[in-house]
């Protein structure tokens, strides 16, 4: 989001660091994670022709933000939990909180985040699949996907299934894992049970894999445990992802969906997806659907979710038969239904 200075948050951070001087900027960067350093570094590299007025504006905003803080450095676990839950909501904050509290004493695991995928794969290649699963759950999904693509093909489904089945990690297991990593790096940890892993984590990693590898892994998981495979697949492609389909795919999908199911499904959709569906209908059909939406009273969430699942099942069937592309990107927009 742009500020009054006209720059995004990352760009403002870059300007602030460049204003601090090399030594102070380096000290700040030491406190950031690998992805944050990369983003800020790219922003710094791309900075040019920043006027004095813009720098003054950014520094002014920073001073105002600092002045509004009364407890800098409090840093208690309860404070961190409260702030993150307020900012992100309980569901999203949960995993992040655990990873932060787990990570600030866990240098062995944290070090893996700074390594490239090939190096991480070499470190964990000989470890038990359960240890590999925990390590991959701790990494960001795109990083974990790069690592798993470098692991032996036969181990990939087993590791993904273990990630999907993780349900918290006990302190003793974390200590043991960090000690294993300490052989390569250093330190230990003493934290509460951490909510890493789960079917959503497995799905996030699969989403970043090359499609050919993803297909092989999913086939193997479904063969071993069809129910688990279905749950992972449901997390991989949700109703909101339909907004990524190209126009031709949306039009093909609409031909297969009943008007009643569509009405219920988009009742709970965001405006972007709703507009996408309406844009790819004939003018008359779009007007009728719009009228029906306005006339439709409150509906049960369970009904909306059931209709969305029905449409997703149709989308998957069409994708498997090659009629649509779930990856989006194509272009047609001339054909209407």
Can you give the residue ranges of every domain in the chain?
9-67, 105-233, 241-320
Does the domain at residues 241-320 carry the CATH identifier 1.10.220.30?
yes
Residue 331 has pLDDT above 80, yes or no: no
- Mean pLDDT of the 286-292 span: 89
Cβ-count burial 80-102 (b if 16+ within 10 Å, e if not): bbeebbeeeeeeebbbebbbbbb
At residue 234 the predicted structure's pLDDT band, cuts being 50, 70 and 90, is confident
State residue 104's pLDDT score.
46
pTM (whole model) above 0.75: no
User: How much of the chain, in percent, has pLDDT values that exceed 90?
Assistant: 5
State residue 94's pLDDT score.
57
State residue 25's pLDDT score.
76
- Lowest-pLDDT range, 39-48, 166-175, 233-242, 279-288? 166-175
Looking at per-residue pLDDT, the higher value among 28 and 72 belongs to 28
pLDDT mean across residues, the chain:
74
Does the domain at residues 105-233 carry the CATH identifier 1.10.220.30?
yes
State residue 253's pLDDT score.
92
State residue 35's pLDDT score.
74
Contact assessment for residue 308 and residue 266, using Cβ atoms and an 8 Å cutoff? no
State residue 67's pLDDT score.
53
At residue 141 the predicted structure's pLDDT band, cuts being 50, 70 and 90, is confident
Q: Could you give the CA distance from residue 286 to residue 107 in angstroms, rounded to a whole number?
A: 56
State residue 142's pLDDT score.
85
State residue 218's pLDDT score.
84
At residue 160 the predicted structure's pLDDT band, cuts being 50, 70 and 90, is very high
Both tokens of 293, joined, read: 């939406």
Give per-residue pLDDT as tens, 47-83. 777 777 777 777 777 766 655 554 444 445 565 566 5
- Lowest-pLDDT range, 28-37, 93-102, 252-261? 93-102
Query: Would the CATH topology of 105-233 be identical to that of 241-320?
Result: yes
Q: Which of 262, 260, 130, 148 is nearest to 196 (CA)?
A: 130
Give per-residue pLDDT as tens, 314-323. 888 888 788 8
Tell the residue number behind the tokens 């892993």, with chain if given.
Answer: 197
HEC letters along the chain: CCCCCCCCHHHHHHHHHHHHCHHHHHHHHCCCCHHHHHHHHHHHHCCCCCCHHHHHHHHHHHHHHHHCCCCCCCCCHHHHHHHHHHHHCHHHHHHHHHHHHHHCCCHHHHHHHCCCHHHHHHHHCCCCHHHHHHHHHHCCHHHHHHHHHCCCHHHHHHHHHHHHHCCCECHHHHHHHHHHHHCCCCCCCCCCCECCCCHHHHHHHHHHCCHHHHHHHHHHHHHHCHHHHHHHHHHHCCHHHHHHCCHHHHHHHHHHCCHHHHHHHHHCCCHHHHHHHHHCCCHHHHHHHHHHHHHCCCCCHHHHHHHHHHHHHHHHHHHHCCCCCCCCCCCCCCCCC
- Lowest-pLDDT range, 116-125, 162-171, 263-272, 325-334? 325-334
Region at 169 (left for phi over 0; alpha for psi -120 to 50; beta for the rest)? beta
CA 188, distance to chain mean position in Å, is 28
Tell the residue number behind the tokens 């974390």, with chain if given.
Answer: 174
- Mean pLDDT of the 109-121 span: 77
Contact assessment for residue 241 and residue 180, using Cβ atoms and an 8 Å cutoff? no
Residue 133 has pLDDT above 70, yes or no: yes
Handedness of CA 155, 235, 119, 184 (dihedral sign): negative
Contact assessment for residue 335 and residue 253, using Cβ atoms and an 8 Å cutoff? no
At residue 334 the predicted structure's pLDDT band, cuts being 50, 70 and 90, is very low
């Amino acid at each position: 989001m742009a500020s009054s200075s006209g720059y995004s948050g990352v760009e403002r951070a870059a300007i602030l660091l460049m204003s601090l001087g090399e030594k102070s900027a380096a000290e700040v960067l030491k406190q950031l994670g690998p992805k944050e350093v990369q983003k800020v570094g790219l922003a710094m590299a791309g900075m040019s022709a920043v006027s004095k007025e813009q720098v003054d504006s950014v520094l002014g905003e920073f001073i105002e933000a600092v002045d509004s803080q009364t407890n800098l450095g409090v840093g208690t676990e309860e404070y961190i939990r409260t702030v993150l839950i307020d900012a992100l909501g309980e569901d999203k904050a949960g995993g992040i909180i655990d990873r932060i509290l787990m990570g600030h004493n866990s240098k062995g695991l944290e070090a893996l985040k700074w390594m490239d995928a090939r190096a991480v794969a070499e470190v964990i290649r000989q470890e038990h699949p359960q240890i590999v699963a925990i390590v991959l759950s701790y990494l960001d999904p795109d990083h974990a996907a790069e690592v798993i693509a470098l692991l032996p093909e036969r181990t990939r489904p087993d590791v993904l299934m273990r990630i999907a089945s993780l349900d918290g990690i006990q302190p003793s297991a974390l200590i043991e894992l960090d000690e294993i990593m300490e052989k390569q790096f250093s330190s230990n940890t003493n934290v509460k049970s951490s909510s890493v892993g789960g079917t959503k984590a497995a799905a996030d990693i699969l989403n970043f894999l090359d499609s050919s590898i993803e297909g092989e892994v999913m086939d193997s998981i479904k063969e071993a445990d069809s129910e688990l495979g279905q749950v992972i697949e449901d997390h991989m492609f949700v109703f909101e992802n339909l907004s990524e389909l190209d126009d031709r795919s949306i039009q093909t999908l609409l031909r297969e969906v009943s008007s009643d199911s569509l009405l219920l499904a988009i009742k709970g959709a965001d405006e972007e997806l709703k507009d996408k569906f309406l844009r790819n209908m004939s003018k008359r059909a779009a007007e009728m659907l719009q009228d029906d939406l306005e006339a439709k009273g409150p509906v049960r969430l369970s009904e909306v979710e059931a209709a969305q699942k029905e449409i997703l099942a149709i989308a998957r069937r069409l994708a498997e038969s090659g009629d649509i592309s779930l990856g989006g990107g194509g272009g047609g927009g001339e054909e209407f239904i």
